[in-house]
Structure 1
Amino acid sequence: MSAGTSSREESTDDTGPPPSPAITPAAAPGRASRRQRATLAAYGFLAPNLVLLGVFLFLPLAWAFLISFQESNGFGASGWVGLDNYRRLVTDPTFWRSALNTATFTLLTVPLSLALGLGLAVLMNSVLPGRRLFRTLIYLPMVISGVATALMGVLLFDEATGIINKLLRGGGLAGIPWQSQGSAAFASIILVTLWIRVGFNMVIYLAGLQGISPELYEAARLEGATSWQQFRYLTVPLVGPSTFFLLIMDVIYSFQIFDTIFVMTGGGPGRSTSVLVTYAYENGFVTRDQSYAAAIGIVIFLLTLSFTAIQWRGNRSRDTVG
């Protein structure tokens, strides 16, 4: 081999990988302009929803916050009273009774609706004849308006003409005082609420169950796990994100329950079924003390926001640790 050939081969081996093309000064401004156009397009798509949120959510919320520091009967503010409305809340026994009823209602309905929704989702995710029909029937109350569903509750639980009391009397039993006894009236509200909420919880849980790989259950069965152990150690942890979402949604719904109580009991008998929203409605539209009603509404908003923030932070902490 000649010396010239060897030198050419050595020079070829020493060159290494080809250099990357240099970025021209015009490339960076081009990418920046594309990002700006994409950002403007995104805001353009978001603009209608942002306008609706601003007009129908943020503006009324700010107005209610302002009214809560004034004295108003709905026809204009008559003066600035500062924290007087909030001081009145502290000494108002009806407010505390309504707050206690709201807390009790939430503590009873949320766990029950979650448990029933998960149980129905597991059942509907199995091999069950007529699953689609049962899913539709269970979810149907969520499609119907709240007032219409509450009217169905009246047909069932009316003390004089309700279907349940008619069946009880037909069987020789005494009717239940659904409207004249506080505990029975509260129980009827809880039962109708569960009927309304369970369908929504079932659908969300069903979506979570269908995202779980069947191989996990097959491996658990090969290891000798029973059906309860599969449910306890596989199903419940793996639907955790669905539980987190439903927990927040159900608590918010419980804090804002109104139409069912308003139609079925009106907050009675006495104050046994009065909750914060019905008490705010009573002050705002019956006694026309809208500044006090606004203060109650702000309290409901702060309670809901605080619970959501705590749950969100706790869920993020669990995800970080995991």
Structure 2
Amino acid sequence: MSAPPTPATATATAPPSRILSRPFRAGTGPGPSTDHATARRRRRRREAAAGILFVLPTLAIFGLFKFLPIAGAAAMSLTRYGLDGEITWQGAGNYTRLFADPYFWKSLGATGAYVLLFVPLIIVIALTGALLLNRLVRFSGTFRSLLFVPYLSSFVMAGIIWSWIFASDGPLNTALHAVGAGPVPFLTGDQWLVLGALALVSVWKGFGYSMLVFLAGLKSQPAEVHEAARIDGASNWQAFRHITLPLLKPVLFFVLVIETIVGFQVFDTVYVMTGGGPNRASLTLLYFLYDEGFKFLDFGYATAVGMVLVAIVLVLSLIQRRFMEGKDAS
């Protein structure tokens, strides 16, 4: 007759299902793994705290010089603020007056037309220049420096030079007269002609920055992918459309947002070359803000124009981001 099984033997001979179904008791489980998970969580908390401490000075400076002025401007836009320092609460009165002001809508239309001319033109020229520089083997650094020089010049100097070029007796109209085209009123004609001339000056002045951004994006693309496309017989256009451009989408989105913001903030070129004319054809939003704030000394109303401009740029940036994300998903 066999002896009854001991507890150790019963445990060893018990079915696996019975062993796994037994309730867990504190102190009998795998303690080292639990301690390891707790230590990992503590380490993550310490790393997060250290990261916050590192970025806290930057966040403080950014908030002091960015968010705080925006909040102050938002508050000022709800008041009537004069040079004498007297502040009168207006509430939404400045915005109601703004949306009923025909000059505001005229400046908004002029700014929108300028952006439609400026942004596609500077992206095409900057991307074309980056593609050409990316193919250069010799003297690429020299050409990069030469093409970047206009970006380092001031808008005032560029405006003065191009005002002379676009003048009725300037070199451009002189060359057109030599071929029988006659003088063209670049800065005194209709709105699209004037805004086109202003956009051309801004593109000449600023395309060097976007070109270098595009060039950095092209240099970061893997050469193996382009080499495989050439081996498969893809043409230059096919490689650009199906490889280069999709890989360049993050850079393209960055340039698109930056140049859109630059386009809505155009002021110096307008101030130097046209002064908002002729007949307010080049009255942009920032020039309208300048007139209301520094000519008519209505700072609360001018601040309301600035807040509307901030809202427009923010909404357009979000729309552009959603559009680029939708293109990536498709």
| TM score, norm. by length of structure 1 | 0.82
What is the SS of the residue equivalent to 1:116? Answer: helix
Match of 1:308 among 313, 317, 324: 317
Which residue pairs with 2:223 in the alignment? 214
Which residue pairs with 1:181 in the alignment? 189
CA distance in 2, matches of 1:84, 1:66: 13
What is the SS of the residue equivalent to 2:161? Answer: helix
Which residue pairs with 2:199 in the alignment? 190
Superposition deviation, residue 24 in structure 1: 8.8
Amino acid at match of 2:284: V
Does the CA contact (< 8 Å) of 2:153 and 2:205 recur in 1?
Answer: no
CA distance in 2, matches of 1:168, 1:75: 53
Match of 2:84 among 75, 80, 87: 75
Does the CA contact (< 8 Å) of 2:114 and 2:196 recur in 1?
Answer: no
Superposition CA RMSD, Å: 2.9
- The answer to whether structure 1 residue 32 and structure 2 residue 42 are counterparts is yes
What is the SS of the residue equivalent to 1:142? Answer: helix
Range with greater deviation from structure 2 (187-196 or 278-287):
187-196
Superposition deviation, residue 43 in structure 1: 4.0
Report 1:1-322 matches (<5 A). 22=32, 28=38, 32=42, 35-36=45-46, 38-39=47-48, 41-127=50-136, 129-160=138-169, 162-168=170-176, 174-183=182-191, 184-319=193-328, 321=329
Does the CA contact (< 8 Å) of 1:182 and 1:273 recur in 2?
Answer: no
What is the SS of the residue equivalent to 1:125? Answer: helix
Superposition deviation, residue 207 in structure 1: 1.1
Structure 1 unaligned segments of length 5 or more: list them. 1-18
Amino acid at match of 1:177: P
Superposition deviation, residue 100 in structure 1: 0.6
Superposition deviation, residue 254 in structure 1: 0.8
Superposition deviation, residue 268 in structure 1: 1.3
Does the CA contact (< 8 Å) of 1:165 and 1:176 recur in 2?
Answer: yes
Does the CA contact (< 8 Å) of 1:67 and 1:294 recur in 2?
Answer: yes
Larger radius of gyration: 2
Superposition deviation, residue 98 in structure 1: 0.6
User: Is the alpha carbon distance of 1:163 and 1:302 closer, same or farther for their aligned partners in structure 2, counting shifts above 3 Å?
Assistant: same
Does the CA contact (< 8 Å) of 1:212 and 1:238 recur in 2?
Answer: yes
Superposition deviation, residue 135 in structure 1: 1.3
CA distance in 2, matches of 1:59, 1:74: 22
Superposition deviation, residue 65 in structure 1: 1.0
Does the CA contact (< 8 Å) of 1:70 and 1:77 recur in 2?
Answer: no
Range with greater deviation from structure 2 (80-89 or 22-31):
22-31
Does the CA contact (< 8 Å) of 1:67 and 1:77 recur in 2?
Answer: no
Amino acid at match of 2:275: G
CA distance in 2, matches of 1:46, 1:156: 48
